[in-house]
């Protein structure tokens, strides 16, 4: 437990953070360059990282490297973001169709 605010030092070297969201066991942040970073529990693919491993520190989401991200939200087992040109990206648990994709599985 962390009972008081503490600076997330891996993000301080990236420049300004413009948006942040937390889910049940993961977090996400966008920096002023429109880059998306996630960290935490990786089950169900909720971090959007290729490794599939839990990550205790903010890590760039590479599959969005060509997008300028402006908004992010984390759900219980999934995440979503919107790019500057208004494209919606979703990933994580999709077993109930909640990702909006044709497939109903974890992505």
On whether residue 10 sits in a domain, the answer given is no
Query: Tens digit of pLDDT for each residue in 1-29?
Result: 778 888 887 777 777 899 999 998 999 99
31-60, pLDDT tens digit by residue? 999 999 999 999 989 999 988 889 999 999
C-alpha 31/C-alpha 44 separation (Å) is 25
- 107 or 44, which is more confident: 44
Domain count, the chain: 1
What 3-state DSSP class applies to 92?
strand
Question: What's residue 9's pLDDT?
Answer: 77
36 within a domain of the structure (yes/no): yes
Q: Is residue 60 part of a domain?
A: yes
Query: Quick one: pLDDT at residue 29?
Result: 96
Residue 32 located in a structural domain: yes
Instruction: Evaluate whether 44 touches 106 at the Cβ level (below 8 Å).
Output: yes
pLDDT of residue 107: 61
Instruction: For residue range 74-90, list pLDDT tens digits in order.
Output: 999 999 999 999 999 99
- Total-model pTM: 0.88
* Residues of the domain holding 69: 15-90
Q: Is residue 102 part of a domain?
A: no
pLDDT of residue 28: 96
């Amino acid at each position: 437990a962390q009972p008081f605010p503490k600076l997330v030092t891996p993000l301080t070297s990236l420049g300004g953070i413009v948006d942040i969201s937390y889910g049940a066991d993961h977090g996400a942040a966008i920096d002023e360059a429109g880059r998306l970073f996630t960290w935490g529990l990786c089950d169900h693919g909720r971090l959007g990282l290729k490794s599939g491993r839990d990550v205790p520190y903010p890590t760039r989401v590479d599959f969005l490297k060509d997008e300028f991200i402006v908004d992010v939200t984390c759900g219980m087992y999934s995440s979503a973001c919107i790019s500057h040109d208004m494209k919606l990206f979703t990933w994580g648990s999709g077993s109930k169709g909640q990702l909006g994709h044709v497939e109903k599985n974890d992505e």
